[in-house]
Amino acid sequence: MAISSTTSAVQAIFALHVATAGCAFLLLSAAGLLLTVQLAVGPGRPKIFQKFTKSATPKHSSLPTHLFLMAGLSTLIVAYATQAAIVALQSSINSPFYITSAYAYPSYTTPTDTSPSTQYAKNISILSFLYQAANILLNTAIVGAIWIHANHLQNNGTGIREPGMLSWVWNAFWMTAILGIGFASWAVGLARRGSGNTALAYPTLIAQNHIVRSLYVAYVCVIIAASTSSTLEAVLCWLGIRANGVAGSRSKSALTRFVFLVTPIVWVRNAFSVAQIVIIYYNENAWSRTTNQALAFLFIIFGELSNLGILALVLLGAWSFGMKSDSSPTVVKEGREPNRSSYGDNSSYVDGIPTHDTTI
């Protein structure tokens, strides 16, 4: 049975997976083009090279933000192109349709394909593990992108060195925990999935295997804690730039926009991650069709589309590094006393705007 012969809900699920992957590809292309331009004109060049430029106050470049951003978009493409392929295969057999690794939308139609459904099991199993691996890397990249972007904007807007050592250690711990626990569950599932046409998909193993399920729940809990921590640190960066930033700084407005848009998206996404953990322990087949349809689309909207939105906002933030005031800071020249005296001998510059040290 082809996708065109399934219910309208399944067709919409398939279309949303394809649209997510397609939009992620467009954002990745835009990010690559933006990084190329910024490397050419300066904002994307690593900080170590800025001592060879005319910048009076070396600032963080957009390159670290782009590295996490492009890693996130690449894995997002893989994850939801894979999910679309899984739904296409599941439309030919009597199988629920995977929305996430923790929830599947029940099949309410009888497939017309008379061939044994086991011929698809091996491919669906492989694709489900590919999806989960991409999802682990995606969540790690999102946490890293929020953390590094917020800290670099604060540094550029205040001149205060950020991120500090404690921030590096703390966020490295969270990202390592996501990778470690996520791939632990993935590896145990891979070892116990079976082989050939009897191979089980990763979501099936979560439902049937206690160890895989426990590790998966721990992994989701770590994602919730890590992403909440990164957004709280972004809020602290925003408070820091409000208190110490230079008036009119482009970094200040960029960080304000980023924090007020990303934080609520992440927190609502985390709320639905908690809901997924709860649903693991229930039988969704016992619920009404309307309830399952609502859950499927809510998990898509506040799951994959939220991830796409977060990365789109990171891309918008990366673009702010190329604003004129950030890329063309004012230079203090020692040989011109009249210009120095207008701000005092102890003047410094942040984001191209003079700050005055009135200490006597």
Query: What pLDDT, in 10s, does the model give residues 31-76?
Result: 999 999 888 875 545 554 454 444 444 567 788 999 999 999 999 9
Average pLDDT for residues 8-19, to the nearest whole number?
94
What distance in Å separates the CA atoms of residue 193 and residue 57, rounded to the nearest whole number? 55
CB 101 within 8 A of CB 202: yes
| β-pair partners for 348 | 355
So what's the pLDDT on residue 331? 36
Do the domain assignments include residue 349?
Answer: no
Do the domain assignments include residue 202?
Answer: yes
Do the domain assignments include residue 358?
Answer: no
User: Which amino acid is located at 13 in the chain?
Assistant: I
What is the reported pTM? 0.85
So what's the pLDDT on residue 349? 46
Report helix, strand or coil for 245.
Answer: coil
Do the domain assignments include residue 352?
Answer: no
Q: Could you tell me the CATH number of the domain that includes residue 231?
A: 1.20.1070
pLDDT exceeds 80 at position 123: yes
Closest C-alpha among 220, 157, 227, 151 to residue 185: 220
What distance in Å separates the CA atoms of residue 50 and residue 30, rounded to the nearest whole number? 25
Query: What pLDDT, in 10s, does the model give residues 185-234?
Result: 999 999 999 888 888 999 999 999 999 999 999 999 999 999 999 999 99
Question: Within a 10 A sphere around the Cβ of 215, how many other Cβ atoms?
Answer: 21
SS3 content of the chain, % helix, strand, coil (to 5): 75, 5, 25
For residue 330, what pLDDT band results from cuts at 50, 70 and 90?
very low
So what's the pLDDT on residue 118? 63
So what's the pLDDT on residue 354? 53
Do the domain assignments include residue 331?
Answer: no
Do the domain assignments include residue 342?
Answer: no
Range of 9's domain? Answer: 3-326
Domain count, the chain: 1
Q: What percent of the chain has pLDDT over 90?
A: 62
Question: Which stretches of 38-192 are assigned E, i.e. beta strand?
Answer: 97-98, 104-105
Do the domain assignments include residue 280?
Answer: yes
Q: What percent of the chain has pLDDT over 70?
A: 81
For residue 342, what pLDDT band results from cuts at 50, 70 and 90?
very low
Do the domain assignments include residue 340?
Answer: no
CB 166 within 8 A of CB 150: no
